[in-house]
Amino acid sequence: MDGHARTPLVGTHWGHFRVSADASGIRDVQPYEGDDNPSCYGASLADGFDTSVRIAQPMVRKGWLETRDGTGRSKGQGPFVPVSWDTALDLVAGELERVRSTMGNEAIYGGSYGWASAGRFHHAQSQVHRFLNGIGGYVSSRNSYSAAAAEVIVPHVLGLSPYTVIEPSYEEILAHGSLMVAFGGVCPHNNQVVPGGVLRHNDRALLSQFRERGIELVNISPMRQDVPAYMDQTWVPIRPGTDVALMMGIAHELITHDLCDQTFLNSHTVGFDDLAAYITGKADGCVRDADWAAALCGVEAGQIRALARKMVGRRTVIALSLSMQRAEFGEQPYFMGIALAAMLGQIGLPGGGVGLSWGNNGRGLFGTRRVNFSWGKLPQGSNPVEAFIPVARIADMLANPGAPFDYDGQRYQYPDIRLVYWAGGNPYHHHQDLAKLERAWERPETIIVQDSVWTASARRADIVLPATTFLEREDVVCGLGQSVSFSAQAAAPYAQARDDYAIFSDLARRMGTHDAFTEGRDSATWIRHIYQQSRDNAAAAGIQLPDFETLRTLEVVDVTDQLPRSTHPLEEFHNDPLGAPLGTPSGRIELSSERLASFGYDDCPRHPVWLERKEWLGAPLAYRFPLHLLSPQPQNRLHSQFDFGRASRDAKIEGREVMIMSCTDATQRGLTDGDIARVYNDRGETFVGVRVTDALMQGVVQLPTGAWYDPDEDGIDRHGNPNVLCADRPTSRLAMGPTAQSCLVQVDKHTGPLPEIRVFTPPLIERAED
């Protein structure tokens, strides 16, 4: 332990690691000694100074210097011209001033995403938004690529955020539960990642107890591996995109055999009669029973009926993964999943009811002791600009200024964006249909990217500002977990990289907002200030945290034992629906919503409905593209972070991302383990390595997200990025979320020469500044 104490402890979103470095770079990375199930992602930290991907100094695209527009930007070929920090910051400040003085701040889009750093201060999204708010605001985005449909539909049904309704925890299920019906599985590798970090990965320890406690687990997913091998499971393979049909087949069995908890439905819900009339066919003549569902989802009708009866008379939780709602009409599986749990009458009971965003961001891990105060954070100020977009509609916004769009019951217009400022994020990872994004990316006059590595977005920027990584700066890490830690600086900044705060401070000085942006604090003072906010908030809740210097010495402080035991977020409502109403118009669970009906959306009406998607195995398009592509989160990196690192690159085949396919589908195409395949549809094409398995249903292939986008001159991706194949189509007019999981493709064996992967080679850099 003495040896560990001399090695810096670094906090990340996927855990804590001890990192030692010298002038030559990272020498060694070891997991935090208190974590007995550390993430494999940590191995990639040793590659944090890979010179082939790090941005060494400020860069400006030569074509932009000549034309001051986006011509040729989306090709990502450069060349770039290195410039001094003063030159780069003068250019950025000049562009910001030009755009806001001629077009207004409504012409500035402040893009970012929150995963760049686990620290409370060095959080790129907070930094860029604080800076832009200080100069008059920016066009913002709402919701997330991960959970947009859930984030909008759940408040209409439950009157709560889906991030509030994440229960019951694994601890509660072990104590009170009997059956978990997991739509989309539990996917433990997703629980390795927690916003703000997690001190101990206890998911395996908890899930391993399901077997010995006799908790039955039904995995409803095309992929058996969505449940780990150390758990017993009943695997129910289902065609992607048909979960709602299966739920309705189960509901029909409950309704027609008087197996619903009618007392709960009468006292805690509204609109059940509308939904029941739809499912039984009284409303439109279509009986949505087990036979109807079986024809759509590929699960035998007898199995559907048996599952319905299995769920009655025992403590049952309906667990819904986020993957289901990242699809066409993605609001519906969450809407119907909540309705199914309501029919069982167990919403709000420990170990029962419904669990949302399951197997994601540590959901279910933290038991009945939860942080009951707010951690301090960098204030972002207020944004005077009212214009916004749903987060996944960036390509539509850039390409169609002034066009109308619907969102959550209102009609808006896309703003006319002339400048994009992106810090700590990579839209070319999150977004779908990259060919469409490429075209839209040409339109803004100026794109500024502030990042540490040459992502696809940085390669397609006009001005690139090199930022440090979390390895190169101090911070305080605290998040959904029950601990706070001091994250040390493990290494000196790479080349000319600067902290985001230093960059924005210098920009604010040029824009005349330096005093307001810094409030007279440097980074070290801000970190202490934010931690003191946490101490004060904790003390008000009866939790004692040490002073900052003591935290530095201790490195980690676990507050679990100080936290009070909390109840299920819906427990009070379950026990007293009149005295503890929900935030819906009726105060109850709305299985049929007058508010949704008033919007007039045929793609998200008043109650759950089955809507046939454009891309699923029952669609006419499946004759041309007979395989349904699923693109889950990767098992060896966070999103696209550290794709250049050893944990990610060692898992690839001939440098390509690995696609999993069934034995039957592979045999039909002459493919075996380790082969290279071409995956394509009308939107794009990419090369992948192949792994063959019997744990995936026929007709489905799986290609994880996060391989850095590497197109050739014809736009063919060389590296295995699924987003070249996925449609940029909104879930519905309600949430306008992404639909990556609704994607049909064809796969052929590739036998010719393989194109060279170039994405880990810096773009062309023409000459140094005089």
Q: Are 9 and 486 in contact (CB under 8 A)?
A: yes
- Tell me the β-bridge partners of 702: 630, 660
Ramachandran bin of 381, using left for φ above 0, alpha for ψ from -120 to 50, beta for the remaining angles: left
711-734 pLDDT, tens digit each: 999 999 999 999 999 999 999 999
Read off the amino acid at residue 602: D
- Tell me the β-bridge partners of 422: 111, 449
Q: Answer yes or no: 115 catalytic.
A: yes
Q: H/E element holding 89?
A: helix 85-102
235-281 pLDDT, tens digit each: 999 999 999 999 999 999 999 999 999 999 999 999 999 999 999 99
- Choose the catalytic residue: 32, 41, 115, 334: 115
> What distance in Å separates the CA atoms of residue 237 and residue 205, rounded to the nearest whole number?
26
Residue with tokens 């383990």: 673
* pLDDT score, position 2: 44
3-state secondary structure of 408: coil
- Measured CA to CA in angstroms, residue 506 lies from 55, 421, 425, 528, 744 at distances of 19, 16, 21, 21, 48
Q: Counting runs of H as helices and runs of E as strands, what totals does the chain give? A: 26, 29
Ranges in the chain, pLDDT < 70: 1-5, 76-77, 165-167, 358-369, 479-481, 768-770
Strand order in 419-423's β-sheet? 80-82, 59-61, 463-466, 446-451, 419-423, 108-112
* pLDDT score, position 1: 40
* pLDDT score, position 3: 42
Q: Give the per-residue SS3 of 446-505.
A: EEEEEECECCHHHHCCCEEEEECCHHHCCEEEECCCCEEEEECCCCCCCCCCECHHHHHH
- Choose the catalytic residue: 32, 41, 64, 113: 113
> What distance in Å separates the CA atoms of residue 301 and residue 290, rounded to the nearest whole number?
5
- Tell me the β-bridge partners of 700: 628
> What distance in Å separates the CA atoms of residue 293 and residue 286, rounded to the nearest whole number?
11
The dihedrals phi and psi of 131, each to the nearest 5 degrees, come to -60, -50
